[in-house]
Amino acid sequence: MANPSRQAVNFAAPRGFATAFKADCKETFFPDDPFHEMKHEKPLNKLKKTIQYFIPLFEWLPNYNLRLFRYDLLAGITITSLAIPQGISYAKLANIPPIYGLYSSFIPPFVYAIFGSSKHLAVGTVAACSLLLSETVGAKASPQDDPTLYLHLIFTATFFTGIFQTALGFLRLGILVDFLSHSTITGFMGGTAIIICLQQLKGIFGLVHFTTHTDVVSVLGAVFRRRNEWRWESAVVGIIFLAFLQFTRYLRQKRPKLFWVSAIAPMVVVVVGCLFAFFAHAEKHGIQIVGELKKGLNPPSIQYLNFDPQYLPVTVRAGLITGLIAMAEGIAIGRSFAIMKSEQTDGNKEMIAFGFMNIIGSFTSCYLTTGPFSKTAVNFNAGCRTAMSNVVMGFCMMLTLLFLAPLFRYTPLVALSAIIMSAMLGLINYDEMIHLFKVDKFDFVICMAAFLGVSFISMDVGLMLSVGLALLRALLYVARPAACKLGKIPNSSLYRDAEQYPGSTPIQGALVLQLGSPIYFANSTYIRERVLRYIKEEQGVSDSKTDIIEHLLLDLSGVSSIDMTGIETFLELRRILDSKGIKLSIVNPRIEVLEKMTLAKFTDAIGKESFYLSIEDAVQNCRFSLHSSKTTMEESLNDQNVV
């Protein structure tokens, strides 16, 4: 006899395949439900909002005014002063002519201003991807022996990066970026910073010959094997520049309002370096300079894209790896600064914007661009209000290319090395690594796998090691899901983890277990064994026959889905429990789980009366059942005594 006060579980007819599939796809690919607000709009307004959604420029530009432009103008000029030295420096890091670093800060900012969703992100080249491109493409074509082929392969890799990023954006596959965990990015950026800093020893010491490998051992070995090439003049100049840059960084940390000092410091180093090299004839003293920089805007490069099957694997590989890293870095940085202003950025829009930047960039003599942290931080601190700051930077870079580019030909390479080293030292986040060690040892191991792998093996191997460990951890969570025994909190109707709340009271004659993850083929056996072990442990606690478990209540509130193997496991578990005289009951299954149980006839097998809306309902029914069986047993014994 059932408890009359029990609330009924809704056994609605299972949804059709199309309806369920549509709901799953929407939750997977459109979790933000971007078109929800357009449902009740008129067709014209719906078209307008759709265009604004896909092209964010049309969302903010109609409301743009002179007051906002004043802030964006200042921010755009400020980030240009950083973009020029960084563009030249990172192009040298990628082993391509420095002018292409300036080209890469001209076209992409305009593209991002049209399609990007972040107000604060400033786009440009980044050190990690520059080095990774150099390492990957350089293994197939030497930048020294065949610089033309090498440059064309860089453009081709950038094109594939753009195709990859755009495809992920349109397919709403931003979920892939989530596989690059915070621990992985921290370790990867730290390891990359180490090897980039060490590689700059070539410029600091004025070395002519150097290794093509990027690992710590090879780089340090090359530095000390070439001691005969060391130039003390270059080292002195480099140390002076590096000390100045680090001082400005220290000043910015102590007095945040003086951020502009640190922002213009790289430009100051370049200008002073050019003047020093020109008047002191630095080349005669072993201090190398950048060399000729041609005046003029970006020449077309679409005709240089190389799809030769001989080089296709390396360009595709370089494009995919650098594209994923650039995407993760740019999206993470954009979100970080948006949070500070209580705003949001759309990861899928960002991927499309990055993709278009790199596709169009590969056609116009640009190499890979994304949203670098240093430039974005300067843009944010300079008070930018919209993506118009990128447009301002683009126009400033256009003027630079048209009139000022040749003036930078005297830039000493040691000055560029000092700029890169100073920027990279800020990417080694020691505090975060220590924090990971204190909070989560496995996260620390994932971080160290990236850090040490990048430092001592290679960038792609280090990244794969870290991602592999992160995926292994995720698989362990799936294969060994959380389960706990629940007890009742005294003087309440709450049921909580008995281990976490030792004062909770067990339910006489019943065992309440909570499962907290999807039930799949990978974890179903473990769940069955864990449930049986809970029963064995519970029955072994007390020798009293009155405490024997007669009911097992499984709370499935946290189980989001179940497959056929999981249902078969429940059927097998029920058979085992029946042999032990224990009744199985299910509490609060979600709609996806209940639908599959209904279609698999599991609900018919154990009876719909075994499903409960809440733990309290199930416990009350168990007590009612136990009381009824106890009364029946006592009456039977009394009848036997009378006879």
Single residue among 451, 472, 493 that ends a domain in this structure: 472
Our count of domains for the chain comes to 2
Residues 501 and 458 grouped into a single domain: no
For every residue of 535-594, DSSP letters joined together read HHHHHHH---GGG---EEEEE-TT---B-HHHHHHHHHHHHHHHHTT-EEEEE---HHHH
Strand, helix or coil at 35? coil
Dig out the tokens for 503 from the structure: 């004062």
In a domain, 533, yes or no: yes
> What pLDDT score was predicted for residue 48?
80
Burial 568-607 (b: 16+ CB within 10 A, else e): ebbeebbeebeeeebbbbbbbbeebbbbbbbebebbeebe
In a domain, 45, yes or no: no
Q: Residue 375 in contact with residue 121, Cβ under 8 Å?
A: no
Residues 176 and 224 grouped into a single domain: yes
Give the range of the structural domain holding residue 514, as residue numbers without chain letter. 480-639
d(CA 444, CA 434): 8
Residues 463 and 497 grouped into a single domain: no
Single residue among 444, 472, 500 that ends a domain in this structure: 472
Q: What is the pLDDT of residues 37-90, one digit of tens each?
A: 666 777 787 788 778 888 888 888 888 898 889 889 988 888 888 888 888 888
In a domain, 31, yes or no: no
Q: Between β-strands 611-612 and 495-497, what pairing exists: parallel, antiparallel or unpaired?
A: unpaired
Dig out the tokens for 577 from the structure: 């429990």
Residues 513 and 467 grouped into a single domain: no
φ and ψ at residue 307, rounded to 5 degrees: -110, 25
φ and ψ at residue 512, rounded to 5 degrees: -105, 120
In a domain, 23, yes or no: no
Report which of 130, 154, 407, 147 is spatially closest to residue 295, judged by C-alpha positions.
407
Dig out the tokens for 519 from the structure: 């039930």
Single residue among 472, 490, 511 that ends a domain in this structure: 472
In a domain, 24, yes or no: no
Residues 416 and 541 grouped into a single domain: no
Q: How far is CA 280 from CA 284, 285, 596, in A?
A: 9, 9, 80
> What pLDDT score was predicted for residue 437?
92
> What pLDDT score was predicted for residue 300?
94
Residue holding tokens 């979790």?
Answer: 31
Q: Give the CATH number for residue 609.
A: 3.30.750.24
d(CA 448, CA 165): 27
User: CB count, 10 Å around CB of 37?
Assistant: 11
Residues 452 and 486 grouped into a single domain: no
Q: Residue 589 in contact with residue 556, Cβ under 8 Å?
A: yes
Residue 483: which H helix or E strand, with range?
Answer: strand 483-488
Residues 283 and 152 grouped into a single domain: yes
> What pLDDT score was predicted for residue 312?
94
Dig out the tokens for 200 from the structure: 């700059």
Residues 271 and 134 grouped into a single domain: yes
Using a 10 angstrom Cβ sphere, with 0-12 exposed, 13-18 middle and 19 or more buried, the burial of residue 249 is: middle
d(CA 592, CA 15): 9
Query: CA gyration radius for the chain?
Result: 32
Residues 262 and 400 grouped into a single domain: yes
Please list the alpha-helical segments (H only) found in 205-311: 216-225, 232-254, 259-280
Residue 459: which H helix or E strand, with range?
Answer: helix 459-479
Report which of 151, 476, 527 is spatially closest to residue 311, judged by C-alpha positions.
151
φ and ψ at residue 124, rounded to 5 degrees: 170, -170
> What pLDDT score was predicted for residue 186?
86
Amino acid identity, position 489: I
pLDDT-flagged residues of the chain (< 70): 1-7, 20-21, 23-39, 174-178, 212, 540-547, 625-643
> What pLDDT score was predicted for residue 30?
63
Residues 6+ apart with CB under 8 A from 409: 289, 290, 291, 292, 293
Amino acid identity, position 247: F
In a domain, 618, yes or no: yes
The beta strands (E) that lie in 410-479 are given as none
Residues 185 and 299 grouped into a single domain: yes
d(CA 102, CA 92): 11
In a domain, 41, yes or no: no
Q: Residue 402 in contact with residue 295, Cβ under 8 Å?
A: yes
Phi-psi region of 95 (alpha: psi -120 to 50; beta: other; left: phi over 0): left
Using a 10 angstrom Cβ sphere, with 0-12 exposed, 13-18 middle and 19 or more buried, the burial of residue 4 is: exposed
> What pLDDT score was predicted for residue 49?
79
Residues 466 and 518 grouped into a single domain: no
d(CA 354, CA 268): 30
For every residue of 308-322, DSSP letters joined together read -TTTHHHHHHHHHHH
> What pLDDT score was predicted for residue 24?
66
> What pLDDT score was predicted for residue 633?
44
Residues 424 and 500 grouped into a single domain: no
In a domain, 574, yes or no: yes
